[in-house]
Amino acid sequence: MKRAYPGSGGSGPNSSNNSGGGFKQPNRLATQRQSLPIANVRREIVEAVQKNQTLVLLSDTGSGKSTQIPQYLYEDGVGEGKMIGITQPRRVAAITVAKRVAQEQECSVGDVVGYAVRFEDVTSANTQIKYLTDGILFREALSDQLLKKYNIIVLDEAHERTIATDVLFGIVKKAQQTRRKMLVPLKVIVMSATMDVDHFSQYFNKCPVMHLQGSNFKVKVYQSMDNTNYLEAVITTIFQIHENCNDDGDILVFLTGQEEIEAATALVRRLAKAINHRDLPRMLVVPMYGAMSQNSQQDPFALAPPFTRKVVLATNIAETSITIPAIKYVVDSGKVKVRTFDPVTGIDSLKVTWISKAQAWQRTGRAGRTADGECYRTYSKEDFKAMAATSTPEILRCSVVSSTLQLLALGINCRDFDFLDKPPADALTSAMQELKALGAIMSVDQPALTTLGRKMSKLPLDPKYAKILLSATDHGCLEEALTIVAMLSGENVFYNTSQKREQVLTAHAKFHAKCGDHVTLLNVFNEFKTKDEPKRWCHDNFLLERNLSHAAAVRTQLANICRSLGLPPTSCGNDPVPIVKCLLTGLYRNIAELQRDNSYLTLANRTRCRIHPASVIHGRARPGYLLFTELVSTGTNYLRTISEIEPEWVGEVVPHCTFLDRITCGGNRGSSSCYSEVAQGGRTA
């Protein structure tokens, strides 16, 4: 099916206008630095930073602000010998930009230029330019509220407005105010491509705003004329570009999440083989999403071999900061996966929704980073007009439990904190109530961390997962809990393809645990760690090695933290009961009860839902009660990553549960319990 894109004086993928052959090699780094738009105003930028304690810098995509401004300040000595910290909302951006700047500084990563992301710190005593995620700087503030290691903090991509970024604004502002009384003040630079500059300027005491020139390259935008399935539209557009635009341009495609990207990657690779033609470049298809291993995350940045077009299928992590070389074409699905939180029920849900206009323009700008480009939007002009102007900040739509815990660890009551945009009152109350239920604080009205709460704040996890680890010793299953929490902290490890459906099901069935998905994940990881050739084993068993390797690295870091907290290693062996009871200590609000129509009803908020088809419990006799990790809404509400529980466990493990009276012990049982085998001495895993 051909996609129709009415142009604006340019040629779309159905055009026969080609710009000529040859896949160009990149210019030398020094030449590229001088050619960036920001190089023309280097002196003005440095002088503005020297003159002001706080500066808001607004610049279009492609100006070079993320890589160049920290180098200008370092090279001109503005940091006065202390580190320049540059925050990024995502680990991929922090790592990639740090590596690029290290190349430009002609040093190894970890020397003058380094980075720190969750579970990975590549810095040294020599590091002067440090890229880090906003979450890492937040955690550094726990031990150093004045951020004395830094004389300059650059808050990059401020428009993304993650919860960690919003909280950082307040922490950095407070540190700056305190350090004004000291000999070495803290300079703050807020940078973005799109944001409400007046809002930011007012928050930072009416600080000056500096507008910088953006990319020198033009991007032609084409809007779809019909509204069909966006995935189908994306695939069609990729091949129209590939077949009709025979030049040196690579393609960047925006999709919503890992599973969607993995499925699309397999499909595009298969179709590319089917249409392989000697007059067309080969097609190299590369996925890109946050949960990939560090090595895999660098694949999109490698130049394609000669006579090869690279197609990068990415989530919104490719919207900002990072520059993928040789991208000339962008295909924008107009969709993003967004997490929302219901403070009344305390349940997170994940939904695919429309992006904002600001995001649409950010994606469009990806096509104009290194040359003139083209953006193909698989949605109509009417769809674009209906989009919100900007995205709703995370702090106004997501749970603030983690941030509340971290602020309390700093001795700050979130109700008194100087937020750029204060979270809804019911969200703050819900956060306090959840922390009290988890045992992190004694009182909602006068919150102060308990001993348990202070330990929870040491773990770089959602509080409910921190509670699971800290409860694991009591249940005798810390080794198993570490593995499961590490697996839940990453992305899906199962590779699914419709082409080999029977083989996939047979391979995955070897790991299935009767009690559910959590112990199934444990089985997969335990088997993975025994293999001498893990990549080959993962390939043969349709598992994603990069995600399992990531989980292994996370588990190691969490085990080290637990050791530092004095938690003795314990294991429950083959008995799944202690594991699921331990999970219940943190996920107690995530219980669903079987209904007569074979659907489930969540007990916390009475939401009707079904078992996700990917669950090992799907298609079996339905248990009376389930413990689920998350609720995903894709038109239908699905329970994901679930385990069967016995109803009497709730009163035993979490007697404070507010909906305990809704649980009928022995009632609503859809099948005989899988745990009866354990009682008889059998194995369920």
pLDDT value at 622 more than 70: yes
The whole-number pLDDT of residue 672 equals 58
Nearest Cα residue to 389 out of 341, 351, 354: 354
Amino acid at 197: V
**Residue of 142 and 77 predicted with greater confidence:** 77
Domain 219-395 of CATH type 1.10.40.30: no
Element (H, E) at 198: helix 197-203
Look at residue 670 in the predicted model and tell me its pLDDT: 57
Higher-pLDDT residue of 648, 30: 648
More confident residue, 212 or 72: 72
pLDDT category at 2 given cuts 50, 70, 90 is: low
Residue-wise pLDDT tens digits, 468-504:
999 999 999 999 999 999 999 887 888 776 667 789 8
Report pLDDT for 351: 82
The DSSP bridge partners found for residue 638 are 610, 632
Cα–Cα distance, 465 to 459 (Å, whole number): 9
Quick check: do 34-212 and 219-395 share a fold? yes
pLDDT at 676: 65
Q: What is the pLDDT of residues 82-136, one digit of tens each?
A: 999 999 988 888 998 999 999 999 999 999 999 999 878 999 999 999 999 998 9
Contact 541, 510 (CB under 8 A): yes
As a whole number of angstroms, the distance between CA 311 and CA 332 comes to 13
pLDDT at 215 over 70: no
> Is the pLDDT assigned to residue 53 strictly greater than 80?
yes
Q: Which tokens sit at 485?
A: 């929490």
Q: Does pLDDT of 296 surpass 80?
A: no
The pLDDT value recorded for residue 137 is: 93
User: Average pLDDT, whole number, for the chain?
Assistant: 86
pLDDT over 70 percentage in the chain: 89
- Is it the case that residue 341 has pLDDT exceeding 50? yes
C-alpha to C-alpha distance for 52 and 628, rounded to whole angstroms: 50
What's the distance, Cα to Cα, between the start and end of the chain in Å? 47
The string of pLDDT tens digits covering residues 414-431 is 888 999 999 988 889 889
The third-level CATH classification (topology) of the domain covering 414-568 is Four Helix Bundle (Hemerythrin (Met), subunit A) (1.20.120)
pLDDT at position 476:
96
- Binned at pLDDT 50, 70 and 90, residue 398 comes out as confident
Which carries the bigger pLDDT value, residue 164 or residue 645? Answer: 645
DSSP secondary structure, 265-319, as one string: HHHHHHHHHHT--TTS-EEEEEEE-TTS-HHHHTGGGSPPPTTEEEEEEE-GGGS
Mean pLDDT of all residues in 654-682: 65
User: Domain map of the chain by residue range?
Assistant: 34-212, 219-395, 414-568, 588-666
- pLDDT recorded at residue 54: 95
Per-position DSSP letters for 13-81, written without gaps between them? TT---------PPPPPHHHHHHHSGGGGGHHHHHHHHHH-SEEEEEE-TTS-HHHHHHHHHHHTTTTTT
Neighbours of 535 (CB within 10 A): 12
Q: Is 461 left (phi over 0), alpha (psi -120 to 50) or beta?
A: beta
pLDDT for 12 beyond 50: no
CATH superfamily of 34-212: P-loop containing nucleotide triphosphate hydrolases (3.40.50.300)
Model confidence at 454: pLDDT above 80: yes
The predicted structure's pLDDT at residue 560: 95
Average pLDDT over residues 523-531: 96
- The pTM assigned to this predicted structure is 0.76
State the average pLDDT over residues 132-160. Answer: 91
Nearest CA among 405, 399, 380 for reference residue 340: 399
